[in-house]
Amino acid sequence: MDVVDRINKLKEEKNAIILAHNYQPKEIQKIADFLGDSLELCIKAKETDADIIVFCGVDFMAESAKILNPDKKVLMPEIEGTQCPMAHQLPPEIIKKYREKYPEAPLVVYVNTTAETKALADITCTSANADKVVNSLDTDVVLFGPDNNLAYYVQKRTDKKVIAIPEGGGCYVHKKFTIDDLKRVKSKYPNAKVLIHPECNPELQDNADYIASTSGILRIVLESDDEEFIIGTEVGMINRLEIELEKLGKQKKLIPLKEDAICHEMKKITLEKIEKCLLEERYEIKLKKEVIEKAQKAIERMLNI
């Protein structure tokens, strides 16, 4: 039996499900039961009747799965180096400062935050629903963090005042893309449609054909009649696009905006680590009960929109 067969056998014996984010390495995506963006993974985690959720992604995603399934065992195949740096940019002490300054403004936090931060938020959002979430609130001013670029995206789609917190917050992978990168790639592929993730800098967003979350990018590539796309997000997304195009027997040209746009935290998981994770039931996500209860309210409020 090879490692994939052994994983499948263990999964069956333990009634486990493997959820994986669109940025995971291709071999992980291929064995996952469900692939998706942050929002889809939250929904799937809530719906599953598996006893064990093996989460292949970064810390905040596995924590969201635990928050939505407090009675289930949520495991990550690797715990070292799988912390999304942006998720740690909005700690409780910074929130307190802004809450004091803007006592009337609700706090919207990106799901790319720790469980403790979610517990202090009024509502969460993902890149697939951030504008909808902000527009659903009954106030003129909102605090929004930690991604300043996603805040820019939302500001363009709402009449409310969006206060981005903390100053300079954002993703080191998406902030790497520059307008010169786009000009260079576009000059080589002038007919390619430009797909940009809302974590990218404003000038990239302003020059995109489409701005979308990873699931939005997938939908556009699969459904559009266009044949060439410049992919302005983490390179793992190309794995997901290739897998889905192959299933449909389609071929399209996928050009990474930058070959080295790699989220290192997403690449720590291997098939061997998944096998060990299932065998030893490690590494279990554990959160305090009161944090789960409060964070759950903020996530559920988003899911109900």
DSSP per position, 176-195: G--HHHHHHHHHHSTTPEEE
Proportion of the chain in helix, strand, coil states, percent, rounded to 5: 45, 15, 40
Strand 16-21 with 34-36, pairing: parallel
Task: Please tell me the distance from the alpha carbon of residue 234 to that of residue 259, in angstroms, as a whole number.
Answer: 9
Is residue 22 part of the contact set for ligand 13P (CB under 6 A)? yes
Within residues 105-124, the interface with ligand 13P by CB under 6 A covers 112
Within residues 146-165, the interface with ligand 13P by CB under 6 A covers none
Residue 304: burial class (beta carbons within 10 Å; 0-12, 13-18, 19+): exposed
| Contact set with ligand SF4 (CB under 6 A) | 58, 84-86, 112, 171, 173, 234, 263, 265-266
Choose, by CB under 6 A, the member of 29, 126, 149, 205 that binds ligand 13P. 126
Longest dimension (CA), the chain: 60
Compute the chain's Rg from CA coordinates.
Answer: 19
Is the CB of 165 or the CB of 237 nearer to ligand 13P?
A: 237
Is the CB of 214 or the CB of 296 nearer to ligand 13P?
A: 214
Find which of ligand 13P, ligand SF4, none residue 265 binds, CB within 5 to 8 Å per kind: ligand SF4
Find which of ligand SF4, ligand 13P, none residue 85 binds, CB within 5 to 8 Å per kind: ligand SF4
Size of the site for ligand 13P (CB under 6 A): 11
Is the CB of 261 or the CB of 295 nearer to ligand 13P?
A: 261
Q: How far is the CB of 127 from ligand 13P (least distance, A)?
A: 4
Choose, by CB under 6 A, the member of 24, 82, 148, 214 that binds ligand 13P. 214
Per the structure block, which two tokens stand in for 171?
């993703």
Side by side, the strands of the sheet bearing 193-196 are: 210-211, 193-196, 228-232, 253-256
Task: Please tell me the distance from the alpha carbon of residue 305 to that of residue 302, in angstroms, as a whole number.
Answer: 6
Choose, by CB under 6 A, the member of 48, 89, 213, 296 that binds ligand 13P. 213
Find which of ligand 13P, ligand SF4, none residue 213 binds, CB within 5 to 8 Å per kind: ligand 13P
Q: Residue numbers of the site for ligand 13P (CB under 6 A)?
A: 22, 37-38, 112, 126-128, 171, 199, 213-214
